[in-house]
Structure 1
Amino acid sequence: MHYEWILDVLSDLKSFAQGNGLPELAEQLGDTSIIAATEIARLSEDRIGGQAPDAGKVAAVRWGTTASDNA
């Protein structure tokens, strides 16, 4: 999937924000990562037809957050 780099960048930015006293930015980047992963998974489904084989990987591995991080 050629969009995974976007999720890596967002994860790096979130980590930087968390480590440098920018908690609101970190939270926003977590939310943005969820939106990006959802859209990327949808693009993959549209191209392949049905669930993309690696859509779960995008959703679970790349977010770098848990549900409680975004609550």
Structure 2
Amino acid sequence: MGHDWIIDVLTDLKTFAVANDLDALAAKLDDTQLVAQAEIGSRGKGIDRGLLGTSAATGRRDRTIGVRRSS
């Protein structure tokens, strides 16, 4: 089965967002689906980290938009 199921879930969420006039959410779900497809595609191709780097896989939150790390 792999990780492809997540694409179906994101598609369902986008369908809901569009049907309920949640345009910004629908756009973000498009972006999220692209990231998911890229990361799923990179698995098994010898790439050991996703588009967001290793910190995304370890649960660090410093890559959140608008959050600055102190120097």
Q: TM-score range by the shorter chain?
A: 0.5 to 0.7
- Greater C-alpha radius of gyration: 2
Q: Which structure shows the bigger proportion of residues in helix conformation?
A: 1
1:18-70 Cα offsets, whole Å, 9 max, x none, are 011100000000000000000000003238xxxxxxxxxxxxxxxxxxxxxxx
1:34 aligns with 2:9: no
Q: Percent identity?
A: 45
Distance in 2 (alpha carbons) for counterparts of 1:45 and 1:5: 19
Counterpart code for 2:27: E
TM-score w.r.t. structure 1 length?
0.61
Give the alignment's TM-score, normalised by structure 2: 0.61
Q: Which residue of 2 aligns with 1:9?
A: 9
Between the two structures, name the one with larger relative contact order (CA 8 Å, sep ≥ 6). Answer: 1
Over 4 Å off, 4+ runs: none
The 3-state SS of whatever aligns with 2:43 is helix
Count residues with an aligned counterpart: 47
Q: Aligned with 2:46: secondary structure?
A: helix
Question: Unpaired runs of 5+ in structure 1?
Answer: 48-71
